[in-house]
Amino acid sequence: MRPIGPLGSSQQTFPAVNEIRHNSANPNAGVPGIGLALGGGFARGFAHLGILKVLEQHHIRVSHIAGTSVGSVFAGAYASGAPLERILAASRTIRFRDIARWSVSRLGLASNHRLADVIELVFDSKQFEEMKVPLAIVATDLGTGDPVVFQQGPLVEAVRASCAYPGLFEPIQIGTRWLADGGLVAPVPTLATRRLGARLVVGVSVGTQDGNRNAPKNIFQVVARAVGAAQKHQFDAWERHADLVIRPDVQDISWDDFGRSSEAIEAGEAAARVALPRIRQLLATCEHSGSSVYSTALSQEWLAETLRSNGRLR
């Protein structure tokens, strides 16, 4: 695998082909799609599936997709052509033990090598070149502190690197680089989505802060809160590359609360429904102008608008 960077099972059956992504008869096939940037957040990241579910229900095409950390898992699964029904079904049964194995070493408390099994089970393709939707996955180079963006080669190690949360998971060595969670440098990979060629970029942020102001109870909360504090001051860096930012209401879901995946998915659906009118407005402007909304004066009005699932703009 050659990274590009830094940036400047069940017996249930599913449709063999995903309608929105691959059906040429789709009436919106020629309409400009949206580029999705899916951020990190461990178990909160299941909200990304709610966003994708609503987009498919309303025939809004995803033209490009990028992911950081858990966002890389769902971005990769969707881009691979895996039916969303399969991804949703897997998400409702997956637990932390399915992606991690405790293996205390000098570099981390656990290995995420079991992610390879999840990818094998859920994804339709495992090479970037075989993706049905252009895909980028972001990791962090621990040697330079720079983002590393994967767009070619095998998918498994790219996803594992993007999900290698520091202090918890061992970093992943690819070539001469040691790579860790992409959320350290790109909490929501809007720039990577833009550089894939997306004319309209929608960022989805589920956050890493646990919303608890009490004293941390373990090392995981200490690390998560420290990373969340650092990311809190990176908003300007990634929001400026988005035309719209959606923030599902998942702040009460803990990082490891995989048993609440259905709640997170529902929160994503609620947030996406609130965002739908503005997404359609942006798409109409993009189609009419024939260029990126981001490059027009109108983008200044909409740039980085934040929609919460309660319907209020922030």
Q: In terms of Cα–Cα distance, which of 8, 61, 69 is closest to 192? A: 8
List beta partners, residue 179: 141, 172
What is the rounded distance in angstroms from the CA atom of residue 187 to the CA atom of residue 23?
32
What is the rounded distance in angstroms from the CA atom of residue 219 to the CA atom of residue 207?
18
Helix axes 70-79, 47-57, angle to 10 degrees: 30
What is the rounded distance in angstroms from the CA atom of residue 47 to the CA atom of residue 122?
18
Quick one: CA dihedral 293, 242, 162, 185, positive or negative? positive
Which residue is listed with tokens 């996803």?
159
260 to 46, 105, 149, 208, 290: CA distances (angstroms): 9, 30, 30, 16, 41
256 touches 218 (CB < 8 A)? no
Active site residue 69: yes
Active-site residue (options: 69, 72, 80, 111)? 69
What is the rounded distance in angstroms from the CA atom of residue 159 to the CA atom of residue 146?
17
Active site residue 103: no
230: its two tokens? 């650092």
Beta strands in the chain (DSSP E): 34-38, 62-68, 101-102, 110-111, 135-141, 147-150, 172-174, 177-181, 201-204, 244-247, 305-308
**Would you list the DSSP string of 223-278?**
HHHHHHHHHHT-HHHHHTT-SEEEE-S-TTS-TT-GGGHHHHHHHHHHHHHHHHHH
Active-site residue (options: 80, 91, 124, 181)? 181
**Would you list the DSSP string of 117-144?**
HHHHHH-S--BGGG-SS-EEEEEEETTT
| Residue numbers annotated as active site | 69, 181
